[in-house]
Chains A and B, each alone.
Chain A
Amino acid sequence: MQVSQSKINDDAIDLMINMGPQHPSTHGVFRLVIWVDGEKIQKVEPHIGYLHRGSEKICESESYNQIITLFDRLDYVGNLNNELAFSLAVEKLMDLEIPERAQYIRVILCELNRIASHMLFYGVYGLDAGATTPMLYGFRERERIQELFESVTGARLMHNYIRIGGIKEDVESDFKDKVHKLINDLKKSVDECDDLLSNNEMFLVRTKNIGIITADEAIDLGLSGPSLRASGVLEDIRVTDPYSIYDRFDFGIPVGSKGDCWDRYFVRVQEMRESIKIIEQALVDLPEGEIITPIKGMVRPPKGEVFVRTESPRGDLGVFVVSDGSDKPYRVKVRPPSFVNLQALELMLRDTYLADAVLVLGSIDIIMGEVDR
Chain B
Amino acid sequence: MISQLKNIGFLRGLVVTLKTTFRSSVTAEYPRVDKRIQVAERFMGFPALLWDSNIVEPYCTGCMVCVRNCPTQCMSAEMKDNPKFEDGTSGRRKIINEFEINLGRCILCGICVDVCNFDAIEMSHEHELSKYQRNGNRANLETLLRMGMEFQNKVNWTPKQPEKNSGKPKEKVSKSKTSEDLPNPLKLDKSLNSESSEKDSSE
**Pairwise interchain contact A133-B17, C-beta atoms closer than 8 A:** yes
B193 nearest CB across to chain A (Å): 15
**Pairwise interchain contact A153-B10, C-beta atoms closer than 8 A:** no
**Pairwise interchain contact B9-A69, C-beta atoms closer than 8 A:** no
**Pairwise interchain contact B16-A195, C-beta atoms closer than 8 A:** yes
Chain B residues in 8 Å Cβ range of A195: 12-13, 15-16
Chain B residues in 8 Å Cβ range of A133: 13, 17
Asked whether any CB of chain B lies closer than 8 Å to the CB of A355, the reply is no
**Pairwise interchain contact B26-A140, C-beta atoms closer than 8 A:** yes
Asked whether any CB of chain B lies closer than 8 Å to the CB of A202, the reply is yes
**Pairwise interchain contact A196-B42, C-beta atoms closer than 8 A:** no
Q: Number of residue pairs across A and B with beta carbons under 8 Å?
A: 72
B31 nearest CB across to chain A (Å): 19
A127 to B20, CA, bound (A): 19
Task: Give 1 or 0 for each of B4-20: 1 = CB within 8 Å of chain A CB.
Answer: 00001110110111011
**Pairwise interchain contact A151-B40, C-beta atoms closer than 8 A:** yes
Q: Select one of B10, B43, B110 contacting A160, CB under 8 A.
A: B110
Identify which of A16-24, A59-67, A244-252 touches chain B: A59-67
Known: A154-B42, A158-B109, A200-B9. A66 touches B71 (CB 8 A): yes
Instruction: Using C-beta atoms within 8 Å of the partner chain, give the interface range for chain B.
Output: 20 to 34
A48 to B71, CA, bound (A): 27
A152 to B110, CA, bound (A): 14
B61 nearest CB across to chain A (Å): 20
A147 to B39, CA, bound (A): 9
Asked whether any CB of chain B lies closer than 8 Å to the CB of A150, the reply is yes
A195 to B9, CA, bound (A): 7
Asked whether any CB of chain A lies closer than 8 Å to the CB of B48, the reply is no
A197 to B15, CA, bound (A): 12
Asked whether any CB of chain A lies closer than 8 Å to the CB of B111, the reply is yes
Task: Give 1 or 0 for each of A196-227: 1 = CB within 8 Å of chain B CB.
Answer: 11111111100000000000000000000000
A168 to B40, CA, bound (A): 17
Q: Using CB atoms, name the residue of chain B closest to A163.
A: B114
Chain B residues in 8 Å Cβ range of A39: none
Which one of B12, B41, B123 has the highest number of Cβ atoms from chain A below 10 Å of its Cβ?
Answer: B12
**Pairwise interchain contact B111-A69, C-beta atoms closer than 8 A:** yes
Interface residues in chain B, defined as those with a beta carbon under 8 Å from any beta carbon in chain A: 8-10, 12-13, 15-17, 19-20, 26, 39-44, 69, 71, 107-111, 114, 123
Interface residues in chain A, defined as those with a beta carbon under 8 Å from any beta carbon in chain B: 62-63, 65-66, 69-70, 133, 137, 140, 143, 147, 150-155, 158, 160, 168-169, 172, 192, 195-204
